[in-house]
Structure 1
Amino acid sequence: MAKLAAAPAALETYCGFPAARTRQVDRRLLEEGLLEPGAPFVSVEINEADFTLLLLAVASGAPIPRVGDVTVLLAGAVPNGIDVAVMPDNIRPAKMTAFDVLHGQIWSAARHSDAIVSDLEVVETWPEVVFHLPEGAARFHPAGSLANHWQGSKQRRSTRIPGSAIAHTAKNLFGGK
C-alpha cells in the first residue's frame, strides 16, 4: 500500500500531470466515495485499484465537479462498447472493462520489472479508453455505444500516457516496499 499523498508527486514526475490538479482530483474522488478515506490523523492509503481510478480520473481532463461521474464511466467501459451481459450464457465471454485491463497492468508492473504495460489513451471529449500495443489498439467505450462512429460533434482531444511512465509510477508507488 502506498500513501495517497505520494501519488501526485509520482504522477507529476513520471507522467507529467500537475500535482496540484491531481490533489484536486483525489480530493474529489474521496468526497464522492470512489477512494476510501483514512481515519482521523491517519494518511489515506491506496492500493493498485485505487491508483487505477486516480489515473483514469486525472487523464480524463474532466472538470472537477464532474470527475467522479466521468471516472466511473471510463472505468466501466467495455471493448468496442459491446455489452456481453445480453449474450446467451453458452457463448458469453467474461466481462472485461477498461478498469480490469489497466488494473492488471499496474499490478503486474509494480511486482515484475519485465511486465508489459500498454500506452494508455484517455479521450476527453467523449468516454473512450484506448490501450495501444505493437499489435494494435483496443478501444473501450461505454456499453451500448457505437464504437465505430464519431462520438461527438467536436474534435477528438485525448491524453496519451506511455506505458513506461505508468510502469515507473507503479513501481515507485507499490514495488519493493
Structure 2
Amino acid sequence: MANLAATVAAIEKYCGFPAARIRTVAERLLEAKLLEPGAPGVAVVIGPADLALLIFGLASGAPLRAVADRTADLCSCVPDGIDVNVMPEAIRSTQRTAFDVLHDIVWNAAHGDGQLRFDVEVVETFPEVSFRTPDGVARFQPAGSLSGHWQSGKQRCATTIPHSALLLAARNLFSEKN
C-alpha cells in the first residue's frame, strides 16, 4: 500500500501524466467515493485497485467535472460489449470487466512475475478500453454496445499506457522488495 503522494510521483515519473492532473483526478474520485478517503490526519492509502481506477480516470481524457462518471463507465466495460447477464444461468460464464483485467495487470506487476504484458489503450471519445499484446487485441465496451462498430461520430482519440510503465509504477509502489 502506498500513500497518495508516492502514487502521484510514480504515475508522473513512469506514465507521464502531470502531477497536478493526477492530484485533481484523485480528488474527484475521492469526492465520488470511488477511492476510499483517509481519516482525519491520516493520508489516503492507495492499493492496486485504486491505482487501476486512477489510470482509467487519467487516461479517459474526460473533463474534471465528468471524470468520476467516465471512470465508472470505463471500469464496467465488458469484452466486445457482450452482457452475459442476459444468458441462461446454466451456460453463463463469469463476467470480467475492464477494471478486473487492469487490476490483475497491476497486481501481477507488483506481486507476481509481471508476465501479464498488456498495453492499455483508453479511448477518450467514447467508452472503450483495449488491452494490446503482440498477438492481438481485446476490446472492452459498454454492455449491449455493437461490437466492432464506431461508437461515435467523432474522431477516435485514445491514450495508450505501455506495459513497461504500468510495471515500473506498480513495482515502485507495491512491491515488497522496496
Q: Give the TM-score, by structure 1 length.
A: 0.97
Contact 2:114 2:167 in 1 (8 A): no
The count of aligned residue pairs is: 177
**1:1-177 equivalent positions in 2, closer than 5 A:** 1-176=1-176, 177=178
The 2-side partners of 1:145 and 1:90 are apart by 24
Deviations 1:37-77 (A, max 9, x none): 00111111011111110111001011001000000000000
Structure 1's consecutive aligned runs of 4 or more residues displaced over 2 angstroms after TM superposition are 112-117
| Other structure's SS at 1:150 match | coil
| Other structure's SS at 2:131 match | strand
1:149 is displaced (CA, Å) by: 1.0
List runs of 5+ in structure 2 lacking aligned partners: none
The percentage of counterpart residues that share the same residue type is: 57
CA RMSD of aligned residues (A): 1.0
1:25 is displaced (CA, Å) by: 0.1
Question: Which residue identity is paired with 1:154?
Answer: K
The 1-side partners of 2:165 and 2:141 are apart by 24
| Other structure's SS at 1:120 match | strand
List runs of 5+ in structure 1 lacking aligned partners: none
| Other structure's SS at 1:5 match | helix
The 1-side partners of 2:140 and 2:170 are apart by 22
Deviations 1:123-158 (A, max 9, x none): 000000000012200000010111211111110000
Question: Which residue identity is paired with 1:142?
Answer: P
Question: Which residue identity is paired with 2:161?
Answer: I
| Other structure's SS at 2:132 match | strand
